[in-house]
Chain A
Amino acid sequence: MKKHLFPLLTVIGVAALGGCPSGIEPVPFQGIGGTISFVGDVPDNTDWVRLIVYRSTPQDSADFLGFVAFTDTLPLARTNTPYLLGLEAEEYGWLPLVWKEKDADLSAGSLRVLGWYTAGGGPFDPPASVTVESGKETDEVDLVGDFDNMLTPEEVLELLR
């Protein structure tokens, strides 16, 4: 019996330590998706344009730093360009398209807002919120950016007030 005690303990030890770990499993995409279009002429001094996600509309300039997530640099094609952005499951109140000036430091002075997600479809209509549910993609979050009417952060605060 003694002779078989060690292998028995070994097997039990292996089972206890290894157990049945669960490997990687398919993860449904969770976030938002839709299309982005632009109107107006793209300025020559464009560094990038991104979709940035906030939980609520900004109340003062400090709130611009409270973003949750942002996309990679967006292609500036005029047609409906599809995009995807993975997000935690919760409600997001403001989704603006943000432009940055080339060769400028990243600060409020180098940023402009091209528009945001609205229920009406116009770039500067009242903002609409988006709810992401667990394990699901919220689609048709379509946006339009207007290069001819870009707003400074101060103008955004004024308009949303």
Chain B
Amino acid sequence: MRRFAPALILILWAAPLPAQQTGVVEGRVTDVESGVPVATALVRVVGTVLRTFADDSGRFVLRGVPTGEQRLRAERIGYVPGATTVQVPADGRVEVEIVMSPEPVALGEIITVATRRTTTTLDAPISVSVMEEPEIMLRVPETVADAVAYVPAAQFVGEQLNIRGLSGYARGTGSRVLLLIDGVPANAGDSGAINWDVIPLTEVERLEVLKGPNSALYGTGALGGVVNIVTARAPEKPLTRLRLVGGLYDNPPQEDWTWSNETQGFLSGELSHGRRVGDFGFWLRGGQWFDDGYRQRGDLERTNLAGEVEWAGASDTVSVFGSWAREDYGAALLWCMRGECRDPYQLAFQPLKIPLDARDDRTRSDKTRAFLGHRHNWSETLNSFFRLSYQRNDWETDFGNDTVGSVSNVYGGELQFDWRAANWIYLITGGEGTYTPVEANLFGKHDQSIASGYIQGEFELGRWVTLTAGARYDQVWMDGGNYSSQVSPRAGVVLAPYPVTRIRASVGRGFRAPTVAEMFTATEVGGFLVIPNDSLLPERSWAAELGIQQLAASWLSFDVAGFFYDLADFIEADTTATSEGGIVIQFDNLPKARIAGVEAIAVMSFLRDRLRGQVAYTYLLTEDRVTGEPLAYRPQHHLLTASGTFTFRGLEFGADYRYASPYDHVKVFTSPVTDPIVAMSVLDLRIAYRFGRQVIRFMVDNSANYAYTTIERNMEPVRRYTLGLDIQF
């Protein structure tokens, strides 16, 4: 009972307010030059908490708008903000059109993740990268992870997402990146890992990647950043979308590595349909993916289904969401070393083959999510959001004679209030609770409970200074006993000395409680012995960032940020070799560590915006402050050259280059002969043709067929050719 006290206090505090006269504003956002609809523009009623997004046809509906004269403002990346004034009748509707002027290179993208409310990156005191649906689909991705890999300062180490080097590698366990789907946490309950397949791609409207520790807003799990997936809302007019993707893997870059005489390929289809009926909006989505894999026994089959119903009344919006995803894939841990498989070339290792005794290793998983949300506008200056969520992860891996698996359930609830207390004050406060029972043959039976309360204020001091200050309290219980607690404060400031300049600074505390998997895993598979550590401490951090966004010319904007993270009791997988030749892994606390760096991003536009480009570079310095050595699995230089895109009469030609310098060191296999550490250097090429609302895309991933690893003895994909067709009607 005690753990939910903050939420109860908030419920009691939120006494009903007197009803006010309101009306409905409907309208359309259009491009002033071409007259075409401006999709996904943020439309808000100035001076209130009321806001919504325009759909694909530029249409929007705002309910519960106070009667009388109201000012509407529309914002969208690539456009100068548009505004208009409207007279709202009592209990009636009014139609309005907002026009926006294109601006090829602009500052500010619309986000919800940085401050827990809809705003723009201009107002965020910390670094945020945004990727909208057209850019997500640009590279014909398989899952959301394939899009996130192109975010500046983000790198996948194996399957584990690293943002600014904060995560390292532990086979996905103990992710320091928090995955949110429309603001609802979605990391696995047992290991904290991110399952990127839980959401069909046609559901994704926008990705927001918040960099650095953000426990002050999101608590444990957000110590290494946050990825928020914003899903598409039901359109005003019925919309069906079919996405077909198929392709082939090329031969290995070295003939000696050939492992099959057959060509390997992949094929997938996603279908979605959405519409509105009166005050109701619906979405149904499903997808199926078959993949032979680019290496031996690397085949995969994936299915996902999702549905959503939303009811929007005058002052209330209720949404119900459910999804289910299943994966079944080959799960060999390592490539084949000499003598472990049949190899006519007798090489030291065969990177695309697996050991004979790992040929039947497979993983099956089922992921179920359900969500109920209720947003209520108490007045034009106060609204609340309440949610209940459930998530179940059930997985099992067969390693020959050994089978390991886990079932975890996450029950969550949250209540948040947004209050514009004055024209210059915006307050957010809320409470959140989760209960996670886990039962597994490699963790045992455990449960973790977390109760949290948070408050944040934004203070607009004049036209050019915005202060942000807030704190979050998290209390963690493990197996019913008190485990730890943490107050995570954060303060930030955004200065706007000129309309084309934003200077941001922030300082805050970070916190992450270890997951059940990190504390209790006890298993022995594939030569790895994992031993538990039930005395593992929570990790904590202090983070500071200073950045500037500048529109330097009509064709160039840039963002430069310096960051510093001081880490205490940092949880890393500790590895030691046994006298039997095996590897022992145990999660342990590094007493002190440090990560510092600089991130620079430039966005350019030439030839009347026909040619767009982005260059991003991150320099990282990491240090274990006890040994003085760099942290494992972190590159010092991370360069992303993305979006060299040339558009001409419906045709788009593009190229993306990703580079990360070799790690200073890795943890498990360290022989320079048999376990080489090389740089990541990947060039992708793409072409697309748009006809009406349909798009056909062709992509060559890893066009140079460059052979590299991001973790030991696991080669990354070879060159592959992908054809994608996106049909909307």
Contacts and interface: CB of A to CB of B under 8 A. Distances in A.
Interface of A: 3, 6-7, 10, 13-14, 17-18, 20-30, 33, 48, 70-73, 82-84, 86, 106, 137
A7 B641 CA distance: 11
A26 B641 contact: no
A24 B348 contact: no
Contacts of B673: 27, 30, 86
Interface string B572-584: 0000000111000
Interface stretch (B49-57, B449-457, B706-714): B706-714
B707 A10 contact: no
B245 to A, nearest CB: 26
A106 B580 CA distance: 11
Interface centre among A3, A23, A33, by most B CB within 10 Å? A23
B156 interface: no
Nearest to B527: A72
Given A21-B681, A23-B708, A24-B715, 7 more contacts: A17-B659, A27-B676, A33-B339, A48-B580, A82-B339, A86-B338, A86-B673
B346 A28 contact: yes
Contacts of B581: 70-73
B637 A86 contact: no
Contact of A24 (B580, B671, B708): B708
Contacts of B709: 24
Given A17-B659, A73-B580, A27 B348 contact: yes
A6 B606 CA distance: 12
A18 B659 contact: yes
B615 interface: yes
Interface string B687-718: 00000000000000000001111000001000
Nearest to A72: B581
B96 interface: no
A7 B612 CA distance: 11
Contacts of A22: 678
A3 B555 contact: yes
B579 A23 contact: no
B620 to A, nearest CB: 14
B685 interface: no
Contacts of B613: 7, 10
A98 B674 CA distance: 26
Interface stretch (B73-81, B145-153, B197-205, B252-260): B252-260
A72 B339 CA distance: 12
A13 B676 CA distance: 26
Interface residues of B, number: 41
Contacts of A70: 581
B422 interface: no
A122 B519 CA distance: 52
A13 B657 CA distance: 13
7 contacts: A6-B602, A6-B604, A14-B639, A17-B637, A18-B681, A27-B676, A84-B338
A29 B681 contact: no
B556 interface: yes
Interface centre among A14, A21, A24, A70, by most B CB within 10 Å? A24
Contacts of B254: 25-26
A98 B409 CA distance: 50
B578 to A, nearest CB: 11
Interface in B652-672: 657, 659, 671
B707 A29 contact: no
Contact of A26 (B339, B347, B556): B347
A32 B7 CA distance: 67
A17 B600 CA distance: 15
A28 B348 contact: yes
B657 A18 contact: yes
A23 B706 contact: yes
B498 interface: no
Contacts of B580: 48, 72-73
B349 interface: yes
B347 A28 contact: yes
Contacts of A84: 338-339
B547 interface: no
Listed from nearest, the 10 A-B pairs whose CB atoms lie closest are: A23-B707, A21-B679, A27-B348, A84-B339, A24-B707, A18-B659, A29-B338, A72-B581, A21-B681, A29-B348
A10 B602 contact: yes
Contacts of B641: 10, 14
B349 A17 contact: no
Interface in B577-624: 579-581, 602, 604, 606, 613, 615, 617
B349 A27 contact: yes
A33 B337 CA distance: 14
Contacts of B339: 33, 82-84
A26 B338 CA distance: 12
B637 A137 contact: no
A86 B674 contact: yes
A83 B338 CA distance: 10
B676 A6 contact: no
Nearest to A82: B339
B351 interface: yes
B678 A6 contact: no
B345 interface: yes
Contact of B345 (A17, A26, A30, A106): A26
Interface in B405-424: none
Contacts of B606: 3, 7
Given A21-B679, A21-B681, A27 B659 contact: no
Nearest to B683: A18
A10 B600 CA distance: 12
A15 to B, nearest CB: 10
B639 A18 contact: yes
Contacts of A24: 351, 676, 678, 707-709, 715
B657 A27 contact: no
A137 B346 contact: yes
A79 to B, nearest CB: 17
A65 B257 CA distance: 38
A74 to B, nearest CB: 11
Given A14-B615, A14-B657, A21 B678 contact: yes
B347 A27 contact: yes
Contacts of B579: 106
Nearest to B715: A24
